Structure 1
Amino acid sequence: MAHLFGAGHDSDAFLIAWTVPEMASTLLIEDAMALLMVPAFSQALARRAAARAGLTRKEARAQDPVRLLVGATLPRLAVLLAAVASVLIVAAPAVVAVLAPGLPDPALAVQCTRMTALTVLSFGLAGYFSAALRAHRSFVPPAAIYVSYNIGIIGTMVALHALWGVRAAAAGVAVGGLLMVLVQLPAFIRNVGFGPPRARVCLSDQAGSAGVRARHRGPGLIRETGPMGAPRSQRDRDRPTLIAFGVIAPVIFFAVFRQSQVLVERFLAASLPPGAISHLNYAQKVAQMPMVLSLMICTVTFPVVAQAMAGGEREKARRRVERDLALAALAVLMGTALVIGYAPQIIQVLFERGAFTHTDTLATASVMRVYGIGLLGHCLVGALSRPFFSTARPTWFPACAMGAGLLVNIVAGALAVGWWGIYGIAAANAAGISTTAALLLTGLGSRIIAIQVRQVAVSIGRLAVSAAAACGTGWIAGPKIADPTLSAALGCLLVPAMFGATGMAIRALEVTALPGQIARFSSQFTQRFRNDR
């Protein structure tokens, strides 16, 4: 993208259109869909295990709570997402006007938005498949979705950029979304399926009749299944739980508030000189890589926490959450030290070619260093939100905390953009997300899982000291080597070494215990990979 289109009007127009898949990704893959459907599938799996005793294979398949859940949710979800995508395609001019009112020429952004709107449907299906597979402890296909997505984008851009310009990138987003669905489809069919066989109703005077009843209550469907004459407790146990508005609303508002940070950035940056939106985007995407890697730990263990909460094993959930927070903070802070200390070298290696100039490198690296201040907050918000939504009925507290952080972001950004431009926008983002992280950390222990908040905060503080020392070392050492590739490569060795040495010196337990934890995690991941194969 940077090589072909640089950082200017065309790339800004595409990034306005890319707001649609970014929002869809948050709602339908990373946050809302996962936070809703992983616990739902986990509970259905628990009911399946309890209900299979004494049933034949055919009966168990017909009354499988997992397949019933799929049958009750997936068709309606697909219709809803297709309708939303259609509305976005028709209303693309209005969408662009709202997202970037200061954009000089919105026509190109409108054309790109109409293509990226297709991801609402494809991302929704991909997120649904991913949640179901993760609940079944199948992690390899969901992990491959973004590889497939990027292959679709890059392949389409390379093939069509000479004809379509930046529109080729928007078309690639649509192609990549389709590949995200296809890469998971075989595993989903194998592990989950698309719903139970059609129930046959037999009427007999001598034998009980099997049947299926459905009733509507509120915005969502709650389907009752099982023998007509079975006790109500059995029917309640067997029916799939689907999800009235009061249950999904806290998750949706949390996800929307979280992704709205990007909307705030692009709204404020639209009035700045051309390229500002692109510099912010490149800086954000590179800076967030440590956060994405650190949250893989929580993504893998979220079904474990959800099943522990569903089974009433709160002590097991507490230990798992505290361990995840420590490992995620360690990973993100080590990565933060690298991306701040070696920001110019990293951006130069990744982007400085073709239409992306050295001036773009300096601007992107500078704003990435400001973004890096908020990486710990982003990581903690992702890790801390999962336990809140692992219970049967999600709480409104994360949405309120995220709303408070968004308000800080809006106010601080509006005040700072006039003085510091894109740097003020990035600093406001860091302030807002850090506010949310602090609220979630203090609220988790008193509302959901009794984690030791003070001990967790002290541990994170020690890791932050290690990160500061490693970051300072990299910032000083990076410019000493003229070749950016060699400098960044050596930084990948120097920063972790300094981080570990400082952690050992101040006796940060997470650092001293790291070798054993890496060995255990590698063993578990290898075993799961073999099982998936």
Structure 2
Amino acid sequence: MSTVTTAPTASTASTVTPSPGRPTRPGPPAPAGAREPAPGGRFVARAAAVTAVLTAAGSFFGLVRDQTIAHLFGAGSDTDAFLVSWTIPEFAATLLIEDAMALVLVPAFSLALSRRAASAARPDGTEGGGDASAGADDPVRALLAATLPRLLLALAGTAGVAALLAPHLVDVLAPGLADPALAVECTRLTALTVLGFGTAGYFSAALRAHRSFVPPATIYLSYNLVVIAAMLTLYARWGVRAAAFGVAAGSLAMVLVQLPAFRRHLSAGASGTERTARTERTARTGRPRWRRERTVRHGGGRRTGPSAAAALVGGAVLAPVAVFALSRQSQVLVERFLASELPPGAISHLNYAQKIAQLPMTFSLLLCTVTFPLVARAMADGRPERARRRVERDLLLAAVVVLLGAAYVIAYAPQIVELLFQRGAFGAGDTAATASVMRVYAVGLLGHCLAGALVRPFFSTSRPTWYPAGAMAVGLLLTVAAGALAAPRWGVHGIAAANAVGITTTALLLLGGLRTRVLPIRVGAVTAGLGRLVLAAAVAGAAGWAAAPLLPSPLPTALAGGVIVPAAFTGAALAVRAPEVPQLLTAVTRRFRHVR
């Protein structure tokens, strides 16, 4: 997939003339010398490939982690208690790693890097009317000093409050839980992840803005390895509490694996190129000119250079991002709240089904994770046309991956669950229940993928926007209403269907709002392309479902499906002229010939 993902070069960076009702650029372009060439397709492909491999390893051990939980604890009341306590890590991961922290800090660091590059390119060390004679702060280091200490203090305080209020949290999250005392103990352990995940998320965002993708991609690998080790070592003595302890220890491992790269990239100050530029200015003027930009214009306002980036982490920008992330993750709260009134094991079946079904969505967003810093940098440099092309390409490529995965999950859900989980305390009845729920979840995977991809450009500018939070609130309300109506009649299947309805509605609202508020994307072309890909996925899923009963055992059936579903998807996509698929085939063929 990533081999055809080419980023525009500097020579193609034309601008868009705003029209009534269309978004305007976030600010005037930076000086010509500050504009770095956009990373080419090979850089994006390599970064996406490395990220994909490491994420795949993390996801594999995530499955091993879930298999270990299923094997040791089954799908009963103890597992339900642990999964309620896992709500805090899930919220923390979404808010502090996957969504809010990245959506706020990647644009902030991108702006700081843009200002640093602009300063290095100016012969007199000034930028945008700044005063070169006034003392000097590197924008990146100034942003670090203004945000990291306060963040660590806030995270530590929040973790302490969550541990203190654990009994009340359990009562709110799962009022019908069979063993609330066990859930409280586990919750007090998992509350420590607020500090660990928050620090890891800060490091990840900063490193990605610096185009360092390997350390952030290793965090879930290290996390899952620590969780597995803790369970295997301590379960005989602590029971399911060992899993909660492992989650807390794993969050610390996320920080440690990134710490060396973080110190290397951010503690060293400016790059060699920028130091060379300052040396040249010193030779010309007789003294170094570290400046404190006083009047840099960005996003329509006048702010100091270092504080311009720090302002992107302020409350006005952070609040809508946090509300969006919390609203999105609240779908899990709704599911567990409704499922707590169902027979024991319902929460566990929903959890296992969701973990497997969302794997295609996770891999589909890998490309967006790599290109988000590029989109944010393009917006910071005043190049919305480059950002538009990147976003449109990413949406369709992500849809190819998630729809192919959804077709496979729908066709081979029983075989997948049996292979992964049916052993120990997890029996055939649990397999059947989990597989049926997983198929319902898979219907909403495209919505999850699009919501994750579309929200990134909304927060790539310096202007705070509440539109994504509003769109997510509408989707959440639909999830609550549909789930409350469907759960009494259809149980966990009704809850999963409500999730799909809510997130798909949010994705549609984000797609329509992106064009009018941020980037002039071609909604009609994107929608038509997505429709063709959905049709191809439906054909592939039907073909796989029809072929699944032909083989008796789950392993050969699942392996055969790995050939049948992609082949049917490719053939159907070519027949309906779905976008991106022909280019992908051409790129793969070219690469294969080159290797030979």
Q: TM-score, normalised by structure 2?
A: 0.80
Residue of structure 1 equivalent to 2:321: 251
User: What amino acid is the match of 1:99?
Assistant: L
RMSD value over aligned CA atoms? 2.3
User: What amino acid is the match of 1:35?
Assistant: L
Work out whether residues 67 and 194 of structure 1, in 8 Å CA contact, stay in contact via their aligned partners in 2.
Answer: no
Structure-2 change in CA distance of 1:328 and 1:83 (3 Å):
same
Work out whether residues 36 and 248 of structure 1, in 8 Å CA contact, stay in contact via their aligned partners in 2.
Answer: yes
Q: Which of 200, 221, 227 is matched with 1:153 structurally?
A: 227
Residue of structure 2 equivalent to 1:67: 141
The CA distance in 2 between the partners of 1:338 and 1:112, in whole Å, is 35
Residue of structure 2 equivalent to 1:90: 164
The CA distance in 2 between the partners of 1:60 and 1:114, in whole Å, is 49
Residue of structure 1 equivalent to 2:310: 241
Shift of 1:348: 0.4
Residue of structure 2 equivalent to 1:39: 107
Deviations along 1:321-350, one digit per CA (max 9) or x if unpaired, are 000000000100000000110000000000
Residue of structure 1 equivalent to 2:204: 130
The CA distance in 1 between the partners of 2:187 and 2:111, in whole Å, is 38
Residue of structure 2 equivalent to 1:438: 508
Shift of 1:241: 2.0
For the pair 1:23 / 2:91, whether they are aligned, the reply is yes
Structure-2 change in CA distance of 1:470 and 1:237 (3 Å):
same
Structure-2 change in CA distance of 1:520 and 1:65 (3 Å):
farther
Structure-2 change in CA distance of 1:494 and 1:365 (3 Å):
same
Residue of structure 1 equivalent to 2:341: 271
Shift of 1:62: 6.4
Counting only pairs closer than 5 Å after superposition, residues 312-331 of structure 1 correspond to structure 2 as 312-331=382-401
Shift of 1:39: 0.1
Work out whether residues 215 and 258 of structure 2, in 8 Å CA contact, stay in contact via their aligned partners in 1.
Answer: yes
Residue of structure 1 equivalent to 2:238: 164
For the pair 1:2 / 2:76, whether they are aligned, the reply is no
Counting only pairs closer than 5 Å after superposition, residues 487-506 of structure 1 correspond to structure 2 as 487-506=557-576
Q: Partner of 1:241: helix, strand, or coil?
A: helix
The CA distance in 2 between the partners of 1:520 and 1:140, in whole Å, is 27
The CA distance in 2 between the partners of 1:517 and 1:271, in whole Å, is 51
Structure-2 change in CA distance of 1:64 and 1:360 (3 Å):
same
Counting only pairs closer than 5 Å after superposition, residues 340-489 of structure 1 correspond to structure 2 as 340-489=410-559
The CA distance in 1 between the partners of 2:225 and 2:373, in whole Å, is 28
Structure-2 change in CA distance of 1:462 and 1:155 (3 Å):
same
Residue of structure 1 equivalent to 2:152: 78
Shift of 1:451: 0.7
For the pair 1:296 / 2:366, whether they are aligned, the reply is yes
The CA distance in 2 between the partners of 1:302 and 1:514, in whole Å, is 21
Work out whether residues 479 and 498 of structure 2, in 8 Å CA contact, stay in contact via their aligned partners in 1.
Answer: yes
User: What amino acid is the match of 2:497?
Assistant: A
Work out whether residues 71 and 194 of structure 1, in 8 Å CA contact, stay in contact via their aligned partners in 2.
Answer: no
Structure-2 change in CA distance of 1:14 and 1:388 (3 Å):
same
Work out whether residues 203 and 259 of structure 2, in 8 Å CA contact, stay in contact via their aligned partners in 1.
Answer: yes
Q: Partner of 1:25: helix, strand, or coil?
A: helix
Aligned residues: 493
Structure-2 change in CA distance of 1:477 and 1:245 (3 Å):
same
The CA distance in 2 between the partners of 1:521 and 1:418, in whole Å, is 53
Work out whether residues 210 and 226 of structure 1, in 8 Å CA contact, stay in contact via their aligned partners in 2.
Answer: no
The CA distance in 2 between the partners of 1:282 and 1:30, in whole Å, is 20
Work out whether residues 68 and 195 of structure 1, in 8 Å CA contact, stay in contact via their aligned partners in 2.
Answer: no
Residue of structure 1 equivalent to 2:12: none
Q: Partner of 1:367: helix, strand, or coil?
A: helix
User: What amino acid is the match of 2:266?
Assistant: V
For the pair 1:190 / 2:264, whether they are aligned, the reply is yes
Work out whether residues 408 and 541 of structure 2, in 8 Å CA contact, stay in contact via their aligned partners in 1.
Answer: yes
Q: Partner of 1:419: helix, strand, or coil?
A: helix
Structure 2 alignment gaps of length 5 or more: 1-68, 126-132, 271-286, 298-302
Residue of structure 2 equivalent to 1:11: 79
Shift of 1:238: 3.6
The CA distance in 2 between the partners of 1:380 and 1:494, in whole Å, is 26
User: What amino acid is the match of 1:180?
Assistant: M
Shift of 1:509: 2.5
Structure-2 change in CA distance of 1:125 and 1:93 (3 Å):
same
Work out whether residues 70 and 194 of structure 1, in 8 Å CA contact, stay in contact via their aligned partners in 2.
Answer: no
The CA distance in 1 between the partners of 2:193 and 2:450, in whole Å, is 28
User: What amino acid is the match of 1:129?
Assistant: F
Shift of 1:61: 12
Work out whether residues 380 and 437 of structure 1, in 8 Å CA contact, stay in contact via their aligned partners in 2.
Answer: yes
Structure-2 change in CA distance of 1:458 and 1:232 (3 Å):
closer
Q: Partner of 1:342: helix, strand, or coil?
A: helix
Shift of 1:245: 1.5
The CA distance in 1 between the partners of 2:139 and 2:335, in whole Å, is 43
For the pair 1:280 / 2:354, whether they are aligned, the reply is no
Work out whether residues 3 and 354 of structure 1, in 8 Å CA contact, stay in contact via their aligned partners in 2.
Answer: yes
Structure-2 change in CA distance of 1:55 and 1:191 (3 Å):
farther
Once the two structures are overlaid, the 10-residue window that deviates more, 186-195 or 35-44, is 186-195
Residue of structure 1 equivalent to 2:38: none
User: What amino acid is the match of 1:63?
Assistant: D
The CA distance in 1 between the partners of 2:265 and 2:590, in whole Å, is 26
Q: TM-score, normalised by structure 1?
A: 0.89
4+ aligned runs moved over 6 Å, structure 1 = 59-62, 519-522
Q: Partner of 2:182: helix, strand, or coil?
A: helix
User: What amino acid is the match of 2:259?
Assistant: L
The CA distance in 1 between the partners of 2:135 and 2:77, in whole Å, is 55
User: What amino acid is the match of 1:64?
Assistant: D
Work out whether residues 411 and 544 of structure 2, in 8 Å CA contact, stay in contact via their aligned partners in 1.
Answer: yes
Higher relative contact order (CA closer than 8 Å, sequence separation 6+): 2
The CA distance in 2 between the partners of 1:466 and 1:382, in whole Å, is 22
Shift of 1:394: 2.9
Q: Aligned residues: percent identity?
A: 61
Residue of structure 2 equivalent to 1:199: none
Work out whether residues 70 and 195 of structure 1, in 8 Å CA contact, stay in contact via their aligned partners in 2.
Answer: no
